[in-house]
Amino acid sequence: MYDNLIDKYNIPGPRYTSYPTVPYWDINTFSLKNWTTSVKRSFIQSNDDEGISLYIHLPFCESMCTFCGCNKRITKRHEVETPYIKTLLKEWQLYLNLFETKPKIKELHLGGGTPTFFSPKNLDYLINGIFLGVEQAQDCELSFEGHPNNTTKEHLQALYNVGFRRVSFGVQDYDPIVQKAIHRIQPFENVKYVTNTAREIGYTSVGHDIIFGLPFQTEKAVRDTIEKTKELKPDRLAFYSYAHVPWQKGNGQRGFLDSDLPTAEQKRKQYEIGKKLLSKAGYVEIGMDHFALQNDTLYQSMQNQTLHRNFMGYTASKTHMMIGLGVSAISDSWYGFAQNVKNIEEYQHLVREGIIPVYRGHILTKEDEIIRQHILNLMCHFKTDWEQDELYFKELPEVLQNIKELEKDGLLIINDNYIQVTEKGRPFVRNICMAFDLRLQRNKPETMLFSMTI
């Protein structure tokens, strides 16, 4: 029966790190002027109470990983570091110029690309430049993504010295056949070294990213990877499905054939095996695709109902505004989204000219704000309600009718004023969110836009 549900609901769908999702942004009515207006509005309303989040995109990698769908530049020329950092700091100054008071940073995350492509000295220079003239919230959380093969003790120490306490290492899978296929050769010893070194230095949250559904991956490979992971006991885990989107421009997912990938049924078995093993090891499932030990802030935020989701994924630090700095970075003012240009040279040129380098975006309508809240509720808490009038929308009866089939299959419970996703339905939460996604329902794509939901 479970396999039948997989066949039934395994369709292309968004991961809902935003609503509306990027393909449904209204870019024709978007402008830099209305974007900066939304940023000023959000800053006034949220800075004093909760602060703001920063995401900094560091796009350089020394080699191509063929599972990766991120925006990156492959190079071994490290002289690109300093000019890029200077551009980041100037872009940040362009945003600071919009604020009437000193911003309070609640969360900062370095993503990529490979943040540890940059030298420890340059990362120190970047972070100190970002915090010059701003305030850090008392519970400010600083985190970065580390590559186990090139994250040195010096990297970890330098970032610790400027306030970082959380690091996430991209593990993916330990099977040599899988690693060769995705061009990510990293022995267990490398991951063990950086994990232990981070803890010795004083990092309080060490995370690992593991992927299922990779080319040539088997159930045995997943079991072996989880067993090795249990040995290192990271505080939190992202255990998620490989998103196969080779049609996206600039994507490097072309080093293997579609026939090399596990089937949907095999992927779901890999997920169930991994979930069961992680549960036995003391990990609690957080939202979709994330797991944490009970000492981790991600678990604690789930318990106190403050878990949040944005373009960085699940986060324990809920802020209404997130500024994305760097090439291709996406910002969220709560009232709108904006994405930076994707070409490094164009990005640097615009910033040199004193222009915030966004090239597309979306300003949310009142309807968007309502639907976003329902999708956030479902993604973070597996339930949503419309007891308050402001969360009711006129298409709701139609949406509830459309999810009757999901209820019949035991994936959710519909009540008078709320719906609750069942334990059985959690792997299908993206499908449930799609029923609320009015922009998707009104304009279903004729071509493939998203990865498969299962």
* 113 upstream amide cis, omega within 30 of 0: yes
Query: Residue 379: how many CB atoms within 10 A of its CB?
Result: 24
Torsion of CA 5, 415, 279, 7, to 10 degrees: 10
* 20 upstream amide cis, omega within 30 of 0: yes
What residues form the annotated binding site for [4Fe-4S] cluster? Answer: 61, 65, 68
What residues form the annotated binding site for S-adenosyl-L-methionine? Answer: 55, 67-69, 112-114, 145, 172, 184, 209, 243, 330
What residues form the annotated binding site? Answer: 55, 61, 65, 67-69, 112-114, 145, 172, 184, 209, 243, 330
Torsion of CA 96, 99, 101, 105, to 10 degrees: -60
Q: What angle do CA 331, 334, 340 make, to 5 degrees?
A: 15
Spatial distance between the Cα atoms of 405 and 392, rounded to a whole number of angstroms: 22
Please, are residues 338 and 359 in contact by the beta-carbon 8 Å criterion? Answer: no
